[in-house]
Amino acid sequence: MLKSKYLNRVFDDLKNRHASEPEFLQAVEEFFESMEVIVERDPSIERYAIMERIVVPERVIKFRVSWTNDAGEIKVNTGYRIQHNSAIGPYKGGIRFVSNVNESVLKFLGFEQTFKNSLTGLPLGGGKGGADFDPRGKSDNEIQRFCQSYMAELYRHLGPDTDVPAGDIGVGAREIGYMFGMYKKLTNEFTGVLTGKGLSYGGSLGRREATGYGLCYFVEEMLTAYRKDNFEGKRIIISGAGKVGKHAAIKAVELGAKIVALSDINGYIHDENGLDMKVVDEIAGETGEYTLKYLERFPKAKFVSGPKNMWKVPCDIALPCATQNEIDLDDAKVMVANGVYLVAEGANMPTSLDATHYFINNGVLFAPGKAANAGGVSVSGLEMAQNATHVSWSFEEVDKMLKEIMKNIFKQAYDTAKQLDKETNLVLGANIAGFQRIYRAMVDQGVI
């Protein structure tokens, strides 16, 4: 129950209208908990109906995607694009192809993306898209036909100054390439309308590693500010077999940590002496599974089925990088009892609200995804800049700029929390810092 009458009224109305959208409501509730600190101090937020407007997407696009599989059968999926908020720039956010994609999930992601993008300091609004299509088990030709059909509808809503999607779960370089090719054919334009592109046609060095590396750069700032410490010797557990978790693990090892457990869809591998990340990188590929393959090379490593069991492994730092709500309250209690002192989200809200509260109330340093997970969109913004100026930057240049952006995001969240006498509450700091920039832009642009 929120204390603010204004926020309660807005949230109750939202719940009545969107009762079947739990993921979206969870994101709004987490955000509103932080907003209570400032809405009573600033009556203009209510006067300008900022909260009523900021929770409603500017545009929800929903469409049929028809395609033909290799057997000649016609298949039909549902495609979406949530253009959530463009107050500070064109819509920016990934495209997700997973069977459980629906409007609630994408509205939640688009809402979170809005504040994440604001924190980067780049001129990017928030959006998200996808389809209830699962690329797993499909041939390259089937994926190509689906991507082309998806883009045949979506292209009319995109543009380098309108909406610039990227990849997400189920959408990697292959899918981006197929969609970009179709966009180029339909518009007769070669513009930077998608990010995460291949290096041969406008992609940026460092984009593949950006979210995982950025997560570690953010954690590095946390360790320095709160503990006068660094990664050296820290025991880390990481969830997720995609590029975020893998590259976070690689960077953490490079900074001196040891990865004691990693999970994928099958379960997790555990080695108290530290996993060999060179081998994991070699056998995993971009989104591949690695736990069972790793055991073939290192039979002494321990394998436990069921990825959720990994949160029982004692560690210093936990980096959830898989999907939303993978850590619940029971997991959080076990993790705290086992000595975890820092949790940083490498995915979009992988920690439930109850678990987040438990971590914060028990002195665990906690970094929300909208801050710690912002490395990917930051380098997407840098890719857009390179496309617009027709230049390419080196990996070292991009990585240096990424590190600086992540340091600045931490500083914004930390300074804002400190001003409110909540120095360790980065959820509060990130939400308010991200909101303030959008709020000012919405007021300046009038009621639209």
What is the arithmetic mean of pLDDT over 443-447?
96
Tens of pLDDT along 123-153?
A: 999 999 999 999 999 999 999 999 999 999 9
Q: Band the pLDDT of 155: cuts 50, 70, 90.
A: very high
What is the arithmetic mean of pLDDT over 32-59?
97
Contacts of 285 (CB under 8 A, 6+ apart): none
Question: Is 286's pLDDT higher than 60?
Answer: no
Q: What percent of the chain stands above pLDDT 90? A: 92
- Decide the pairing of beta strands 91-97 and 59-68: unpaired
Given the residues 107, 116, 128, 403, select the one marked as catalytic: 128
Tens of pLDDT along 201-252?
A: 999 999 999 999 999 999 999 999 999 999 999 999 999 877 899 999 999 9
Q: Band the pLDDT of 288: cuts 50, 70, 90.
A: low
Contact 112, 370 (CB under 8 A): yes
Question: Is 285's pLDDT higher than 90?
Answer: no
User: What pLDDT, on the 0 to 100 scale, is given for residue 295?
Assistant: 84
What is the arithmetic mean of pLDDT over 379-386?
97
Q: What percent of the chain stands above pLDDT 70? A: 99
Tens of pLDDT along 330-354?
A: 999 999 999 999 999 999 999 999 9
- The class (CATH top level) of 210-369 is alpha beta
128 a catalytic residue: yes
Return the minimum-mean-pLDDT range out of 26-40, 163-177, 237-251: 237-251
Tens of pLDDT along 59-73?
A: 999 999 999 999 999
Q: Is the dihedral of CA 225, 230, 235, 239 positive or negative?
A: positive
Domain 59-190 matches domain 210-369 at the CATH topology level = yes
Q: The sheet that has 317-320: what strands, in order across it?
A: 302-305, 267-270, 258-263, 235-239, 317-320, 342-344, 365-367
What is the arithmetic mean of pLDDT over 367-393?
97
- Which two tokens mark 178? 């197929």
Question: Is 290's pLDDT higher than 80?
Answer: no
Q: Band the pLDDT of 12: cuts 50, 70, 90.
A: very high
Return the minimum-mean-pLDDT range out of 122-131, 246-255, 276-285, 297-306: 276-285
Between CA 198 and CA 422 the distance in angstroms is 43
Ordered by start, the domain boundaries in the chain are: 5-54, 59-190, 210-369
Q: What is the mean pLDDT of the chain?
A: 96
CATH of 59-190 among 2.40.128.20, 1.10.490.10, 3.10.310.30, 3.40.50.10860: 3.40.50.10860
